[in-house]
A and B are shown apart, each in its own frame.
Chain A
Amino acid sequence: MMKWAPVLFGLLALGLWEATVRIGEVPVYLLPGPIAIVGAFIADPIGLLQALASTLFVTFAALFVAAVLGATMAIAMSASRLAQAAIQPWAVALQVTPLPAIAPLIIIWVGEPFVALVVCATIVAFFPLFANTSTGLASAPPELNDLFRLYGANRWRTMALLRLPAALPFFLSGLRISGGLALVGAVVAELVAGSGGFASGLAYRILESSFRLEMPRMFAALVLLALAGILINFGLGALGQIILKWRGGT
């Protein structure tokens, strides 16, 4: 019963929604009912799914770049005071800059639309990965660091055998957070780029249908985006758990 409660609640809400729209005769350009939305999806499933794939491609490319960059910079920072002093303020500056404000600039500078979108989404996804990995690299108790010193371990061995393994769970939870953010970044960048951009992602479909007042199609694209976000979150969460379980303990 507990397990099915959210599903039942969702179905109930959908039913109410459909009923309200029908009984209240709400015009479809304001709020389409669920059946109309499903209808819009069925009318062009391939077009919408291709758009989803395009957005997801940008999302995962950005997530990958952010993971590599975030982890590398966190490691560089934890290995050297100088690198820390040099990197830290820029990382924070990057984090507090609102993406919609710099996206137009990036799109103009980069030129190539796909790369521009990936750069935008990477900027959003970078910080949690960077910050979490940094925290994780410093998370081993001081006694363990002392122990490594006692046995004469140099900086690189300490990194390989203590700091990196200690950072893994932190990195993985950063990955999960950044997965959702990369999707947000990809969507925002697509919206900013509009028809001048890649013009093939879900966010662009949303813009396009809003111009044409095709509300059911717009909602169908929205639902796909939401589902993608949920799947990314759960998928990355499960991936993290599998990796930690295989590694044996946090």
Chain B
Amino acid sequence: MLSVTNVGRRFPGGVQALHDVSLSLRESDFVALLGPSGCGKSTLLRLIAGLDQPDSGRLEWNDGPPRSGDIGYVFQDATLLPWATAEDNVFLPLRLRGESRETAMPRVHAALLGVGLAGFEKARPRQLSGGMRMRVSIARALVTQPRLLLMDEPFAALDEFTRHKLQADLLDVWRQAGCTVVFVTHSVYEAAFLAHRIVLMTPRPGRIDREIASSLITGPDTRLDPAYAALVADVSRAMGEALR
């Protein structure tokens, strides 16, 4: 769906955030961008979203440039509007496209149902737990039925139990929605659990070092599966080599 070719991005002040990065995304991929802090993961995500422009290289979309709603974005913080209810927060992308409340509400409620938040439509962000807020944020990204879902360390601020639950639920949502996901993380465990393409990035300058394919089919017992443990070991070893 998207080819990123030889992309570079240097910020004023001289930081080479990305150098010669190439990556192609296919339909229904689940790609993890894995790397230490400062290796340009967020920068790459913002380039893909069109929130920032590369200094060199190209981004080519197979089916033409994305329109509003083709891309969903989830940040590390839920970044909800604190004064708006859960349903109004999820309604926001549709509202910005000019849709009326009445026509949008069924899809808003379906999105909230899809992330397990039925019954919390009228709750305000401060009445929700961190995990629930992140679910609202995911529902907001999914309500436009995006072809591409970009997630920037969305679960990094959550406790481990909540994180595991959200990871499993995210995979369910992804299988249902069938969209492409690019998931930024600096957790080897998280990347190995979620993705079937694990892209390793290294800093200074930010580059893609290598890609590791996973054939793991994730289920309820994956975390106890020796194959999962082996994958984590492989990825950790590769990351160690890449950073040496």
Give me the interface of A with B, judged by CB distance under 8 Å: 141, 143-144, 146-153, 157, 161-162, 165, 168, 247-250
Q: Are B51 and A149 in contact (CB under 8 A)?
A: yes
Q: Are A161 and B92 in contact (CB under 8 A)?
A: yes
Tell me, yes or no, whether B224 is within 8 Å of chain A by CB.
no
* Contacting residue for A151 out of B68, B75, B83, CB 8 A: B68
Q: Are A153 and B96 in contact (CB under 8 A)?
A: yes
Q: How far apart sit A151 and B46, CA to CA, in the bound complex (Å)?
A: 14
Q: Are A150 and B83 in contact (CB under 8 A)?
A: no
* 0/1 interface trace, chain B 7-34, chain A, CB 8 Å (1 if under): 0000000000000000000000000000
Q: How far apart sit A250 and B77, CA to CA, in the bound complex (Å)?
A: 17
Within 8 A of A (CB), among B204-242: none
Q: B94: nearest residue on chain A (CB-CB)?
A: A151
Q: Are A165 and B51 in contact (CB under 8 A)?
A: no
Instruction: List residues of chain B with CB within 8 A of the CB of A148.
Output: 96
Q: How far apart sit A249 and B126, CA to CA, in the bound complex (Å)?
A: 8
Known: A141-B79, A249-B82. A151 touches B97 (CB 8 A): yes
B158 CB to nearest chain A CB (Å)? 17
Q: Are B71 and A162 in contact (CB under 8 A)?
A: no
Within 8 A of A (CB), among B25-71: 46, 49-51, 68-69, 71
A33 CB to nearest chain B CB (Å)? 51
Instruction: List residues of chain B with CB within 8 A of the CB of A149.
Output: 51
Q: How many A-B residue pairs have CB under 8 A?
A: 54
* Contacting residue for B79 out of A144, A165, A247, CB 8 A: A144
Give me the interface of B with A, judged by CB distance under 8 Å: 46, 49-51, 68-69, 71, 73, 75, 77, 79, 81-85, 92-93, 95-97, 124-126
* Contacting residue for A147 out of B73, B85, B95, B126, CB 8 A: B73
Q: Are A150 and B73 in contact (CB under 8 A)?
A: yes
B177 CB to nearest chain A CB (Å)? 18
Q: How far apart sit A185 and B169, CA to CA, in the bound complex (Å)?
A: 60
Q: Are B125 and A249 in contact (CB under 8 A)?
A: yes
Instruction: List residues of chain A with CB within 8 A of the CB of B83.
Output: 165, 168, 247-250
Q: Are A161 and B126 in contact (CB under 8 A)?
A: no
Q: Are A162 and B81 in contact (CB under 8 A)?
A: yes
B129 CB to nearest chain A CB (Å)? 16
Instruction: List residues of chain B with CB within 8 A of the CB of A144.
Output: 79, 81
Q: How far apart sit A202 and B84, CA to CA, in the bound complex (Å)?
A: 45
Q: Are B51 and A146 in contact (CB under 8 A)?
A: yes
Q: A146: nearest residue on chain B (CB-CB)?
A: B51
Instruction: List residues of chain B with CB within 8 A of the CB of A153.
Output: 96
Instruction: List residues of chain B with CB within 8 A of the CB of A249.
Output: 82-83, 124-126
Q: Are A157 and B77 in contact (CB under 8 A)?
A: no
Q: B78: nearest residue on chain A (CB-CB)?
A: A143
A127 CB to nearest chain B CB (Å)? 26
Q: Are A165 and B85 in contact (CB under 8 A)?
A: no
Residue of B84, B96, B124 ringed by the most chain A CB atoms within 10 A: B96
